[in-house]
A and B are shown apart, each in its own frame.
Chain A
Amino acid sequence: MTRKNDIFVPEGYFQQLEQRLQSLPQREVKPTVIQRVSPWLAYAASLAVLVGLANFIFGRSAATEEDNTWDYVSYLSQSLDPDGQIELVETADLTDEEIRSFLIASNISVEQLALLDYEEDY
Chain B
Amino acid sequence: MESPEQVFNGIVKEYSERLYWHVRRMVGSHEDADDLLQDIFLKIWTALPSFRGEAQLYTWVWRIATNESLNWLRREKLRAALHFASADDLVVRRIEADPYFNGTAAQRELAKAVARLPEKQRQVFIMRWWDELSYEQISAITGTSVGALKASYHIAQEKLKLNLSESEVSK
Contacts and interface: CB of A to CB of B under 8 A. Distances in A.
Contact of B16 (A3, A18, A25, A107): A18
Contacts, number: 90
Contact of A4 (B30, B83, B130): B130
A29 interface: yes
A10 interface: yes
Nearest to A99: B82
Contact of B82 (A4, A24, A103): A103
Range class of the A interface residue count: 20 to 34
B104 A104 contact: no
Interface stretch (A69-77, A87-95, A108-116): A108-116
Interface of B: 4-5, 8-9, 12-13, 16-17, 20-21, 24-25, 30, 34, 37-38, 41-42, 45-46, 71, 74-75, 77-79, 81-83, 98, 100-104, 106-108, 110-111, 129-130, 132
Interface of A: 1-10, 14, 17-18, 20-22, 24-25, 29, 100, 103-104, 107-110, 113
